[in-house]
Amino acid sequence: MERLARTQEEFLEAILEPRDIEATPGLEIYRRNARANAVSALAAAYPVVRRLVGEAFFDEAAVRYMRSNPSRSGDLHEHGGSLAAFLEVYEPARGLEYLADVARLEWACHECHHAADAGALDVAALARVGAESLGELRFALHPAVRLMRSFHPIAAIWEANQPHRDGIPDRARGPDHVLVRREDLAVRVERVDAAQWTLLAGFAAGASLDEASASLGAGEAERILAASLARFVRDGVIRRFSLPAGPVAA
């Protein structure tokens, strides 16, 4: 098995070697196809990163990424999840401190686009929960929701690099707390209040309403809780709820 594994590694290395290394015509075809597939899959998932660094830079990084992170799945939609970590240590990208976090945001968008669908929260069932039990509620987020935060203005960078935009962000500084969600088959990237983000992060981690509210700090829960919950239910960010002794209500 070790010999087979090494043979497979050598074959992959041969496919991904730079073009100036001599190869047989057949192997060169594999090389071209492997490069094209790697670049195509990553370009589809990371159009903003590609626009930020340019086509030549991105294509070279894509090949080097594939060499160090070969795909483990036949589904190209799953390839690219580690690009942000790769870019953090990729020497040519060292001067672009925001790039890895922009990549993380784009992968969150990619995951939301391909995530499972789910219906709306059962508001009528929620209304029947007694006041004495409200603090024990645990809310689950929609499968097509992701949370991102960064010291850099990643939402502004992402927005400025959408099609038909000039690439100039409307903010030069972060931090950004970002909610990524899918609505009507379109992925939306929205900046949210830091307290709202913390509340959602608590729900995502399994915290009860009381626990998530306590993490906000003095006065923050009173300031944002009612309006934020109403918004997140309306926008489909919250998908279902449960109580310790009861079933999940969808």
Q: What is the pLDDT of residues 203-229, one digit of tens each?
A: 999 999 999 999 997 788 889 999 999
* Interval 13-54: pLDDT, tens: 554 555 445 555 655 665 667 677 778 889 999 999 999 999
Q: Using CA atoms, how far apart are residues 100 and 52, in angstroms rounded to an integer? A: 12
Q: At what angle do helices 2-16 and 55-68 cross, to 10 degrees?
A: 170
Provide the strand spans (E) within the chain.
138-141, 145-150, 176-183, 186-191, 238-242
Q: What is the pLDDT of residue 15?
A: 47
Q: CA geometry: angle at 183 spanning 121 and 147, to 5°?
A: 80
Identify whether the C-beta of residue 106 lies closer than 8 Å to the C-beta of residue 146.
no
Q: Kind of pairing, strands 176-183 and 145-150? A: antiparallel
Q: Using CA atoms, how far apart are residues 97 and 152, in angstroms rounded to an integer? A: 8
Q: What is the pLDDT of residue 101?
A: 98
Q: Kind of pairing, strands 238-242 and 138-141? A: antiparallel
Q: What is the pLDDT of residue 141?
A: 97
pLDDT less than 50: residues of the chain:
11, 15, 19-20
- What is the amino acid identity at position 153? P
Q: What is the pLDDT of residue 72?
A: 66
Q: Name the 3-class secondary structure at 188.
A: strand
CB atoms within 10 A of CB 40: 12
Identify whether the C-beta of residue 185 lies closer than 8 Å to the C-beta of residue 101.
no
Cβ contacts of 222-229, under 8 Å, gap ≥ 24: 223/195, 224/193, 224/195, 224/196, 224/199, 225/199, 228/193, 228/195, 228/196, 228/199
Q: For the chain, give the longest Cα–Cα distance.
A: 74
Q: Which residue is associated with the tokens 């009860």? A: 208
Whole-prediction pTM value?
0.84
Q: What is the pLDDT of residue 9?
A: 52
Q: What is the pLDDT of residue 30?
A: 58
Q: What is the pLDDT of residue 31?
A: 63
Identify whether the C-beta of residue 160 lies closer than 8 Å to the C-beta of residue 167.
yes
CB atoms within 10 A of CB 124: 8
Q: Identify the sign of the CA torsion 216, 200, 169, 151.
A: positive
